[in-house]
Structure 1
Amino acid sequence: MALAAAPLRRFQTTPPRPQPFSAPQRHARLRPRHLQRSPPPILTAAAVAPLTAADTEERKHELLRAVQETGRGSAAGPDQRAAIEEAIVCMEELGAGEGTPLDLAALDGTWRLCYTSASDVLVLFEAADRLPLLQIGQIYQKFECKDRSDGGVVRNVVRWSIENLLEEQEGATLMVSAKFDVLSKRNIFLQFEEVAVENIKISEQLQALIAPAILPRSFFSLQILQFLKTFRAQVPVNGPERRSPGGLYYLSYLDRDMLLGRSVGGGGVFVFTRAQPLL
């Protein structure tokens, strides 16, 4: 008996779906671990090292080098003034800042002017350039506030001379005195009180003219010499009927041997270094 052939079962096959075309990917070439670049570190305020005392001294020297050969500001050109202003700002960044009160004990004493851009001081140098016989010597600011907490007295001292009549550079002294009050932690207000000319030191040529050494000095000639030595002319700038001029002064940097100031309103910067006390 023949066996009937079993019907064949057809299996439906689905052709594979085409894959979307994609560009062949490049395999990254791995670098050795010791050559792999790491992202730069994020610097925080705590990670920045504070400036050292040596850094401060270096900035001071940079500023003092910048003001050299400028005639205390009278001979400075535009490029020099820009460089000096940048050096001053670098020093002011090191200052105690607004949060620290002004140390009047450190401010007390005599400061010698090294540079200024203030027009009321530069006019003195310009006058000396126009008048060959006039000589402008050292200029100082003398603060008297050691035992004070609210203010004190400041004296602007200008040493000057007239050739052949007075001793060179320091033949006479022009002094402008003012009281000052501490308005804030860095600002003081100046109230000018008096302008005086004193400490007249006549030259040997003038002494010989008044009282020749080869002749006996008379009482009259000796009186003239004594009068000149003790001469002091003073002009008050305040009174009951008029208010004395004043000005706001910002002390932007102060330490044991450098003082930086800015005249607020009138403009001008000042660079001072510590000097020996004036007699």
Structure 2
Amino acid sequence: MKTSFRIALFGLACAAAPAQAVDIVFDYRYDSGGFFTDDRRAVLDDVARLFSGNLDDTLAAIQPTGDDVFVARIFDPVDPLNGTVVVPGLTVAADEIRIFVGARAFSGQTLGVGGPGFHVAGGSSDFVALADGRGEPGALASPPTDFAPWGGTITFGTNVGWYADDDVGTVENFAGLFDLYTVATHETAHVLGIGTADSWFAQVSDGSFTGAAATAVNDGVAPLLRDDGSDAHFDTSLRAAANGVDQVPLLAPVIPAGARRYMTELDWAALRDIGWDVASLQATVPAPIPEPATWGLMAGGLLLVGAAARRRAA
């Protein structure tokens, strides 16, 4: 049997996106306090559509049969810093990434916690390889060149002033509030492996991320990482394009209140480097949802963040 374990910490729904190569699914079963109102779920739907629409990977389903065993464990969505929970009887559909979300009041400047889940797989060697790599051979390589998680968890702070935008294609004034779209997108990128995957750390050297795509976007220089001992975030001195405008990378560890940040070319390039099939380095907001008639035709302050990770252990 093999256990995978990763987490990212940040001081800074169940709804599926339209079918794409990768289907990001936010699962609300642990939202015992009712934090995820309709408007907040709508924002997470937008985050799901952003990644689902830009990641072209094909991931194998995890559906144990016979003597096969798959036990998924996550950091407790309502107390992620102090415990983990087993997700009973979890199976994962083909191409699905399932992210369990929850909420709690954090102390200090901690506004959210998120990262990939981990698991124990047993039974036939073929099933164990499938559960660990989801059909992506690079995820099983040594060192790994790909990352194919079954999902993960994100917990948001209940004692935070959140802004939930009903149209992430526009930006209004929300001074003093933290943009839920920005933070949820940042956290989802950590679930997908930035700062948490073995294939990320395999390309970290001397305080920089040496991935080829990220280096090319950064004018041929390996982008610096935040010097905080975690090697999990880009340095705030970097700039990269989003919507044709340079900004601090979304996966930098400082996010201001009252402002929106997007996935930049550097953030998407990093996902490509750790093994994801990224369609475009310029994606910033999800494509609009077609009107019903169209579907018919088709059918017919400052927020400090930190991170930590522990490698896969036998």
Fold similarity call, TM over 0.5: no
Structure scoring higher RCO (CA < 8 A, sep ≥ 6) equals 2
Task: Say which structure is richer in helix.
Answer: 1
Q: What TM-score do the two structures reach when normalised by structure 2?
A: 0.22
**Which of structures 1 and 2 has the bigger CA Rg?**
1
Task: Say which structure is richer in strand.
Answer: 1
